[in-house]
Amino acid sequence: MNLVSPNEMFKASKEMMLGGKDPVTYYDWVNIINFWAANLHKDLLKGEMPALMLLCKMYECPLEKSQILSIGSQQYERRIQSENFRNGGKDSGVG
């Protein structure tokens, strides 16, 4: 597991999702949060997702908590499905 600072994560998300621009619109922030959720360790995407919520708070994301949690949950489910597929359909024991 590689550790990345919040600033590096924000910079990478802007570069990958917005061509280096700062997020301005609702959809910009959805893209940023999707990037964060896809790149955080899956164990950090359980429950109230404190790491994702902290990133959102640090960078003043205007989305509602329920929207942020929904995006994180979708990324978590995608990751579990992908792991199950790679394991030949076997339950990964996570979740």
pLDDT in tens, 23-76: 999 999 999 999 999 999 888 888 899 999 999 999 999 999 999 999 999 999
Residue 23 structural domain:
6-85
pLDDT given at position 45: 85
| pTM score of the predicted model | 0.83
Residue 90 belongs to a domain = no
Is residue 90 predicted with pLDDT exceeding 70? no
pLDDT given at position 95: 47
Name the CA dihedral angle for 7, 37, 3, 6, rounded to a multiple of 10 degrees.
Answer: 20
Query: Contact at 8 Å (CB) between 16 and 35?
Result: yes
Residue 93 belongs to a domain = no
Total number of domains in the chain: 1
Is residue 15 predicted with pLDDT exceeding 50? yes
Residue 94 belongs to a domain = no
Residue 92 belongs to a domain = no
